[in-house]
Chains A and B, each alone.
Chain A
Amino acid sequence: MISPFIWNNAVVLTVAVPLLAAFLCPLIGMFTETGRKAWVLAAAAITSALALFTAWKVYTYGTWVYVFGASVPNLTVPADSGGIPVRIMFEVDAMSALMLVIVAILGFVVILYSTMADDKRSGKAGYYTLFLLLIASIIGMVSTGDLFNFFVFFEISGLASAGLIAYRVEKGRAVEAGLKYFLVSTLAGIFMLFVIAILYGQYNALNIAMIAERMQYTSLDKLALVLIIGALATKAGSVPMHFWTPDAYGLAPSAVTALLVVASQASLYGLFRMTFTMYNLTLNAVTVGWILIILGVLSMFVGVTMAIPQKDVKRLMAYHAISQTGYMLLGVGTGLAVLGNVAMMDAFGQMAMEGGIFHIINHALYKGLLFLTAGAIIYRVGTRDMNKMGGLGHKMKWTMVFFMIGALAIAGIPPFNGFASKLMIYESVYLFNPVLAIIAMVVSILTLASFVKVFHSIFMGPQLPEYEHVEEAPRPMLWAMGILAVLVILFGIFPQHVVNYLITPAANALIDQSGYITAVLGGV
Chain B
Amino acid sequence: MFANLPYYTVVALTIIGFATVLLKRNLVKMTMGLNILTAAVNLLIIVLGFRAGGIAPIYTMAPQTEMVLPTPQALVLTSIVIGVATTALLLSFTMVIYRKYGTTNVDEIRELRE
Contacts and interface: CB of A to CB of B under 8 A. Distances in A.
B76 to A, nearest CB: 9
Contact of A182 (B48, B72, B89, B100): B89
A180 B44 CA distance: 27
Nearest to B46: A197
B45 A196 contact: yes
A307 to B, nearest CB: 13
Contacts of B82: 152, 155, 189
Interface residues of B, number: 33
A183 B30 contact: yes
A246 to B, nearest CB: 8
A376 interface: no
Q: Most chain-B CB neighbours within 10 Å: which of A155, A176, A197, A200? A: A197
A305 interface: no
Contact of B71 (A187, A190, A206, A247): A206
Contact of B34 (A175, A176, A186): A186
Given A169-B100, A175-B93, A177-B112, A190 B45 contact: no
Contact of B86 (A155, A175, A201): A155
B49 to A, nearest CB: 8
A196 B111 contact: no
A100 to B, nearest CB: 24
A82 to B, nearest CB: 10
A161 B96 CA distance: 17
A178 interface: yes
A171 B100 contact: yes
Given A194-B41, A200-B48, A176 B109 contact: yes
A172 B90 contact: no
Given A175-B93, A182-B89, A148 B78 contact: yes
A187 B34 contact: yes
Given A148-B75, A159-B86, A197-B41, A179 B94 contact: yes
Contacts of B71: 86, 200, 206
Q: Most chain-A CB neighbours within 10 Å: which of B44, B82, B94? A: B82
A331 interface: no
A173 interface: yes
A201 B85 CA distance: 26
Nearest to B85: A159
Interface string B51-78: 0000000000000000001011001001
A162 interface: yes
Contacts, number: 90
Contacts of B78: 148, 152
A312 B111 CA distance: 14
A148 B74 CA distance: 11
Contacts of B100: 169, 171-172, 175
Contacts of A247: 112
Contact of A187 (B21, B48, B94): B21
A176 B111 contact: yes
B38 interface: yes
B90 A179 contact: yes
Contacts of B27: 179
Contact of A169 (B38, B96, B109): B96
Contacts of A183: 30, 34, 90
Given A177-B112, A193-B41, A162 B75 contact: no
Contacts of A176: 97, 109, 111-112
A306 to B, nearest CB: 10
A287 to B, nearest CB: 26
A166 interface: yes
A173 B112 contact: yes
Given A152-B82, A183-B30, A197-B45, A175 B75 contact: no
A104 B7 CA distance: 44
A111 to B, nearest CB: 23
B62 to A, nearest CB: 15
Contact of A175 (B21, B41, B44, B97): B97
A163 interface: yes
Contact of A186 (B48, B90, B94): B90
B48 A201 contact: yes
Given A196-B75, A197-B41, A173 B111 contact: yes
A315 B114 CA distance: 10
Interface string B1-45: 000000000000000000001000001001000100110011011
A197 B44 contact: yes
Interface in A145-174: 148, 152, 155, 158-159, 162-163, 166, 169, 171-173
B105 interface: no
**Which are the 6 A-B pairs with shortest beta-carbon distances?**
A172-B100, A201-B48, A179-B93, A175-B96, A193-B41, A197-B45
9 contacts: A86-B69, A158-B86, A163-B89, A190-B37, A193-B38, A193-B42, A196-B45, A200-B48, A315-B114
Given A155-B85, A193-B42, 4 more contacts: A176-B111, A179-B93, A186-B86, A197-B48
